[in-house]
Structure 1
Amino acid sequence: MNAATRDGRKSGNPAKRAAATMQVRTSGSPTITWRNWVAGARLRTLPLAVAPVAAGAGIAHMVQAFSWPLTLLALGVAVFLQVGVNFANDYSDGIRGTDEFRVGPARLTGSGLVDPKRVLATALVFFALAAACGLVAVLLSGRWWFLALGAVAIVAAWFYTGGKRPYGYAGLGEVVVFIFFGLVATVGTTWLQTDVQTQEVWWAGAGVGLFAVAVLIANNTRDIATDRLAGKHTLSVRVGDRASRILYVVCVLLPFAVPALYGAVHPGMLLVWLVLIIVIPSCVITLWARTARELIIVLGLTSLAALAYGVLLGIAFAF
């Protein structure tokens, strides 16, 4: 064992310590493949980026202001920002040592598979791609105030788990997720394309945002025990296991107030009710799940439900 590896194993930085341990186990540098990076991107969370854009685009079509270029650019901002958040969380949780306690797939930083600086650089690249898409959208639309909104979104993405006082560790993650992956993404997609003000876009944003919150609650309910050990005081840690599960059910059922409210005006809302085919089983599993594996299944189902809800809601408003 060389001196660098010995120093790494004694390091106070959990990510460096994990990397050194991994090197000893493999008698050399661990092999990193594209699959590791794809796993780090957490593609199962991308439906949360697509759903609000689909809903917002549908409402833009409803007021006869739909634009493919602006919709695709809004989608680029949302997707790149989501991936950037995922890598930033991987980096921040890893260097704090939070991932030493977690259950589920190994993270790039916390497992020692990748140098933390490479993970951070990857996060910054995706933030830059999101900013580039946003800049092009602003140039095409002429709505310069979106630059400030985009800057705030990137800052919020970083401080979810980054910085000295991350709000995700203080039980505020659900609030910010509701705002940015619900209201801001949905309303922003519509306002990027039209000056017409509609109440529908706010209701749609709230519905999509609640699904995003539900995904976070399912994830944090699974991690209550390990988050307590890591000193991560999420909302689920604060309210407890049973209340967290009930809150999840509330968050996935409340969005159906939107098709109930607009069903008489937009007959296509009948399609939105089909999402209950996914939601009801996920509620049942959540309320009676006993293992982390069951809650991981809920995560997948909820992400799928969020995507279906956003797309079908957009179609209902558009046609």
Structure 2
Amino acid sequence: MQPQTIHNETSLHAPPSEKRWKVWWNLLRPHTLTAAFVPVFIGTALALYETAIDWPLFLAMLIASLLIQAATNMINEYYDYKKGLDNEHSVGIGGAIVRHGVKPETVIRLAFIFFGIATLLGIYICINSTWWLAVIGTACMAAGYFYTGGPYPIAYTPFGEIVAGFFMGFVIILIAFYIQTGIITSQSMLISIPISILVGAILLANNIRDIDGDRENGRKTVAILVGRKNAILLLAAMFFVSYILIVLFIALDYAPFWALLVFLSIIKPLAAVKGFSSNKSNVTMMPAMVATAQTNTIFGFLLGIGLIIGYFI
């Protein structure tokens, strides 16, 4: 049954004036937006090795990616509400609809406005690069919508981690690199792989946390298919492979020695695996979920910094 919510466009549990901006801010799920920043940052850092950076193109790409990520979060919130999956006690959601009375129609309308602005930025990017990117950009937005929208949401299948990692890691890095350089290199493709894995890890961590509720609602995520214990082992393996790939790329001269900076983030994946292994409730697993997202953020940021240092030294 769909939860009943009073829709008055204001917070139900907070002073309406001073807290209202937080409702809209939380709707964006700001902690997830780094998953959009990191690929653009890395793709642009890689472009340094080929050309001078076009900063207006970089900003257009960054803002478009952030808007698509935020819109995807809103679509997720809208459809999870419509399907009766979210309530005011749900963990890890913006809560604008079920906690603060924002109309579902307002949320989905805002998501499409964000898509529209991203499209305008995409047109600017295409004018300054190639119109083939319009097809790729449309595919990225479609993936964001159909992740939880439509009759057969990707999030309900075992392919959520693969789709998210591919579009938010591999594709975004290559677009950010291509709009600066006009080419795609083996280096840019290889460097995108560990980031793609870590983006997928965020989704896997989310599915581990929600495994019981997802199973009750008929989802067939990887975490459900392999079981909680094996899903945690898979998460650990994804972390391990991401770090080992950096060492391999350095050995093969695809990445500078400074890329080893990523190992400064190693405490986060260790905390994530330990947190999921020792906790079983949604609330107590939240720190592990946060540590997984932070792994992608810190790993990606340090990798980008390492690439920049390697270029100048």
TM-score (norm 2): 0.88
What 5-or-longer segments of structure 1 have no aligned partner? 1-11
Query: Are the counterparts in 1 of residues 88 and 98 from structure 2 also a CA contact under 8 Å?
Result: no
Amino acid at match of 2:234: L
**Cα offset for 1:308?**
1.9
Q: Call closer, same or farther: CA 1:105–1:181 in 2, change over 3 Å.
A: closer
1:283 to 273, 279, 284: 273
Structure-1 residue corresponding to 2:58:
71
Query: Are the counterparts in 1 of residues 158 and 220 from structure 2 also a CA contact under 8 Å?
Result: yes
Query: Are the counterparts in 2 of residues 101 and 226 from structure 1 also a CA contact under 8 Å?
Result: no
What 5-or-longer segments of structure 2 have no aligned partner? none
Aligned residues: 299
Deviations 1:294-316 (A, max 9, x none): 32112222222212222222232
**Distance in 2, Cα, partners of 1:305 & 1:170:** 24
**Distance in 2, Cα, partners of 1:172 & 1:249:** 18
Deviates more, 1:222-231 or 1:277-286: 277-286
Query: Are the counterparts in 2 of residues 84 and 123 from structure 1 also a CA contact under 8 Å?
Result: yes
**Cα offset for 1:288?**
2.4
Structure-1 residue corresponding to 2:28:
41
Larger radius of gyration: 1
**Cα offset for 1:96?**
1.1
**Cα offset for 1:139?**
1.7
Query: Are the counterparts in 2 of residues 109 and 116 from structure 1 also a CA contact under 8 Å?
Result: yes
Structure-1 residue corresponding to 2:302:
312
SS in structure 1 at match of 2:180 = coil
Amino acid at match of 2:296: A
TM-score (norm 1): 0.86
- 1:124 is the counterpart of 2:112: yes
**Distance in 2, Cα, partners of 1:45 & 1:159:** 18
1:156 to 143, 156, 177: 143
**Cα offset for 1:178?**
1.2
SS in structure 1 at match of 2:284 = helix
**Distance in 2, Cα, partners of 1:104 & 1:222:** 9
Structure-1 residue corresponding to 2:200:
213
1:171 to 158, 165, 172: 158
Structure-1 residue corresponding to 2:282:
292
Q: Call closer, same or farther: CA 1:248–1:187 in 2, change over 3 Å.
A: same
More helix by share: 1
- 1:272 is the counterpart of 2:262: yes
Say what the alpha-carbon RMSD is for the aligned residues: 2.3
**Distance in 2, Cα, partners of 1:284 & 1:112:** 34
**Distance in 1, Cα, partners of 2:260 & 2:157:** 39
Amino acid at match of 1:233: K
**Distance in 1, Cα, partners of 2:102 & 2:88:** 18
**Cα offset for 1:48?**
0.7
**Distance in 2, Cα, partners of 1:69 & 1:295:** 40
The correspondence of residues 224-263 of structure 1 with structure 2, limited to 5 A, is 224-263=211-250
Query: Are the counterparts in 1 of residues 209 and 289 from structure 2 also a CA contact under 8 Å?
Result: no
SS in structure 2 at match of 1:19 = coil
SS in structure 2 at match of 1:193 = helix
Query: Are the counterparts in 2 of residues 246 and 287 from structure 1 also a CA contact under 8 Å?
Result: no
**Cα offset for 1:109?**
2.9
Q: Call closer, same or farther: CA 1:80–1:191 in 2, change over 3 Å.
A: same
Deviates more, 1:246-255 or 1:43-52: 246-255
Structure-2 residue corresponding to 1:199:
186
Structure-2 residue corresponding to 1:5:
none
Amino acid at match of 1:99: D
Deviates more, 1:247-256 or 1:153-162: 247-256
**Distance in 2, Cα, partners of 1:48 & 1:41:** 13
Structure-2 residue corresponding to 1:139:
127
